[in-house]
Amino acid sequence: MSSAMYIVGTLGFLALVFAAFVSSARLTMRQENRAFKIRQMYGATPIHISLRIGGFLAAVALVPQVVLLFLLLVFLLVTGAPAPGATLWVMLALILTFVFLWFSAVREVRAQEQIGW
C-alpha cells in the first residue's frame, strides 16, 4: 500500500513538473512569436520557422538538461551506483516532451494567418 502511495505521489509530482515545464516553454515561445512573424514577413518559409522554433526549444528545453543527465549517467556508472539506467528514461521523457512542445509550437505559430503586423 505504501509503495503504491509512493508511486502515485511521484507520478503526481512528475505531472506537476511536466505542466510547469510546458507552460514555461510556451510562455517563452509566445514572447518570441513577434520575432517569428517578422521573419515570416521577410521570407522565412514554414520550414525555416519550424527549424528556428526547434533550435530555440532545443537550446532552452532539451540540450542543457540532457547534457546534465548524461554527466549524471557517467557519474553513476563510474561510481557503480544502483539503477543508472533511470537517467536514460528521464532523457527519453525529455526528448518526448521536446517533440511535443516543438509540434505544438509550430502548429500554434502556423495556425495564425496574421504575420508581420
Partner 1 sequence: MSVKTILEARNVSKVYGSGRTQVTAVRGVSLSISAGECVALMGPSGSGKSTLLRVLGLISRPTEGSVIIQGEEVGDGECRRARLRNRFFGYVHQEFAIIENETVERNVMIPLQYANPKPGRQELRSRTRLVLEQVALGWALKKNASQLSGGERQRIAIARALVNDPVVVLADEPTAALDGKTAQEIITLLLSIKERGAAVLFATHDDRVAKQCDRILRMIDGRLVE
Are 38 and 116 in contact by the 8 Å Cβ rule? The answer is yes
Name the residue with cell 533550435: 55
Q: By CB under 8 A, name the one of 10, 16, 48, 77 that touches partner 1.
A: 48
Site string for partner 1, 13-42 (x = CB under 8 A): ---------------------xx--xxxxx
Task: Name, in order, each residue with C-beta under 8 angstroms of 76's C-beta and a sequence gap of 6 or more.
Answer: 84, 87
Q: By CB under 8 A, name the one of 5, 43, 78, 111 that touches partner 1.
A: 43
Interface size with partner 1, residues (CB under 8 A) = 18
Would you count residue 55 as binding partner 1 (CB under 8 A)? no
The radius of gyration of the chain from alpha carbons, rounded to an integer in Å, stands at: 18
Spatial distance between the Cα atoms of 75 and 104, rounded to a whole number of angstroms: 34
Provide the binding-site residues for partner 1, judged by CB under 8 A: 34-35, 38-48, 113-117
